[in-house]
Structure 1
């Protein structure tokens, strides 16, 4: 296991890259077919000491969040994992975003009850705000009513990635009777065995990202004690936490696209297409798109050290959409260049395409571009929004 006191080295990252491509990518077909969480992959990441990347060293992690001692660490690990399998990457991403949120807002009692025990072993966390038919990122139909010693919560959440195997789920709700989300946004620490909690997994049948199991969670008058309330009402929107998540998606889109590009280059060489001028042209065009996306990604990470949070959020949104557009370009060019045989299940091309097409539309890139335009034009904007 990697010593938490040791800074992530180039050799560690290189070895993870090799393992992701040779092992995670090979397993991905079976995970996709069964629709099961890639727990074996995540346990191997944990065995390398890399799973709890955003947790502080004090509490057993690598301190690799955007606000940590190595702001690029978690994102570069995520990008590398996605060279092999985007679903494993997304599970890793959601887990680390949840742990980052949990540790930063936890009380001392919650650190002892949740953070340190979960960071000391293999564990899996989830965060879920999404709801069926939700129209606003910060407004929820799931309602919490004050009760003696805690809250009574009723509602339905969906797209809860990692939930089938999660030790802890951070679920968002609204305080009943309070309209302003800066005052009513509540974060609940849900344990799967709480009375009234039902996790339903059968509904999740997407075109791609099938191993990133994302459940429906039903909360039927669940009692959530005060120890299981994270932060104060409104802390999530006030703390602009959603804006910190943009680069996680950028890392996934970029890493998966790089994995597809590298696979295609090897495939073309193996079929003696390297001397073909059209192949050379398309590979060069993809290289340009990926180089541009990588540059924006690196620039956006650095922007978080400037102290200007809004500027960092805008840079992250730009990087996220650039990675998404690069992904679509790489998919189109590889599909046309690889030919019909590459579409067979013996090759990972079909899965790469399904995963990218499914995951890249998770963010609303038209909305992102509009927000960037609003900022440039001096109009009112919210750079924390995903959609």
Structure 2
């Protein structure tokens, strides 16, 4: 098994890395203070030719995404972006997963209307499944409803964590068909930006970390959606296990963010005068080993997807678990050896620590590990379990 980068992988890794060093890192503080998506960074990714990294090559993409011919290529964009700006990495991650899904399940007309403009015009898609209280109710027990009417559907409800909602050309989101229980009643739609009845709740994004990944609350009030904007059939998300197809992209963020912390420490600790301290050396080695160990699990999981989807779904949970653990370990050990003098509220290290810790709260590592354990004990398991 050879995990050496192909020429395409190396080019993507270097191009996005250069963007990160020269542009994303310099803008990160301003995006943390602003209210809105990182528009300039997203445009830079389009100009670099990676906006369609998770799309099929026959439409101008790079073949990435879980079901693509080259899943690693889009993960490298996410990882390298996260190394310099975790908020932007979350935005491109959301776009990649949303556009990959439409590319895989959409009709030919939807692919032309929703996907081709990504390649040609630099527009964006998002995907919002979350809504207030969903964690307690379960993944598919949604309260946002869709009711069938002539020519389309009427949607009512509230969605949260709608990343990129202010700049996408279509918001894609999930609802439950009125009076049809989940998962069969679970259904998704593509809603054009500015559609009557879809509003962004002002002041609804004010988190501790990931502030630049603008993810506000959306309010749907008697929102009419045409039949042509239904994505897949009822229950398609559950049947396709689409939640499991984002595991590695989250893991890539954890790895990239951890790498960003390591970069800061390499520069800062010699200046602090503690590079010769054995305790500092120990902690730096522990961080390095944790990141590298998680990275190779992620790369192996990416290698598995085109070969065995069921095995890849499960192994991606292993990789995500280790990447999250590496991120949490990195935060703790970095704080110990950098010391309080490096943790001014406006410092890059403080921002990385806030962002990385906030982002890792997307997952319940105990549930992830228990899911893997269920498989090995011959019990029923669900690879879409996260929270």
* Closer/same/farther in 2, CA of residues 47 and 177 from structure 1, 3 Å limit: same
Separation (CA, whole Å) in 1 of partners of 2:383 and 2:330: 27
Q: Residue in 1 aligned with 2:245? A: 244
Q: In the alignment, does 2:349 pair up with 1:349? A: yes
Separation (CA, whole Å) in 2 of partners of 1:99 and 1:340: 42
Separation (CA, whole Å) in 2 of partners of 1:200 and 1:121: 28
Q: Residue in 2 aligned with 1:41? A: 41
Local SS of the residue matching 2:67: coil
Local SS of the residue matching 1:137: coil
Q: In the alignment, does 2:74 pair up with 1:77? A: no
Is the CA contact (8 Å cut-off) linking 2:12 and 2:76 kept in structure 1?
no
After superposition, the C-alpha distances for 1:120-145 in whole angstroms (9 at most, x for unaligned) are: 11112110111111121112111111
Separation (CA, whole Å) in 2 of partners of 1:288 and 1:142: 44
Q: Residue in 2 aligned with 1:310? A: 310
Separation (CA, whole Å) in 2 of partners of 1:81 and 1:65: 16
Separation (CA, whole Å) in 2 of partners of 1:201 and 1:215: 8
Local SS of the residue matching 2:199: strand
Q: Residue in 1 aligned with 2:369? A: 369
Deviation, 1:346, is 5.6
Deviation, 1:201, is 4.2
Is the CA contact (8 Å cut-off) linking 1:145 and 1:175 kept in structure 2?
yes
After superposition, the C-alpha distances for 1:154-209 in whole angstroms (9 at most, x for unaligned) are: 1111111000111111110111111141x211111111222211122411111100
Q: Residue in 1 aligned with 2:8? A: 8
Separation (CA, whole Å) in 1 of partners of 2:267 and 2:18: 15
Separation (CA, whole Å) in 2 of partners of 1:98 and 1:212: 16
Aligned residue pairs, count: 380
Q: Residue in 2 aligned with 1:235? A: 236
Separation (CA, whole Å) in 2 of partners of 1:341 and 1:151: 56
Separation (CA, whole Å) in 1 of partners of 2:290 and 2:68: 29
Q: Residue in 1 aligned with 2:188? A: 187
TM-score, normalising length: structure 2? 0.94
Indicate the larger mover: 61-70 or 144-153. Answer: 61-70
Q: In the alignment, does 2:152 pair up with 1:145? A: no
Is the CA contact (8 Å cut-off) linking 1:310 and 1:383 kept in structure 2?
no
After superposition, the C-alpha distances for 1:86-119 in whole angstroms (9 at most, x for unaligned) are: 0000000000100001111111221222221233
TM-score, normalising length: structure 1? 0.94
User: Which runs of 4 or more aligned residues in structure 1 lie more than 3 Å from their structure 2 counterparts after TM superposition?
Assistant: none
Stretches of structure 2 that go unaligned for 5 or more consecutive residues are 1-5
Stretches of structure 1 that go unaligned for 5 or more consecutive residues are 1-5
Q: Residue in 1 aligned with 2:290? A: 289
Separation (CA, whole Å) in 1 of partners of 2:7 and 2:345: 39
Indicate the larger mover: 288-297 or 13-22. Answer: 13-22
* Closer/same/farther in 2, CA of residues 180 and 332 from structure 1, 3 Å limit: closer
Local SS of the residue matching 1:46: helix
Separation (CA, whole Å) in 2 of partners of 1:9 and 1:324: 23
Deviation, 1:69, is 2.5
Q: In the alignment, does 2:156 pair up with 1:154? A: yes
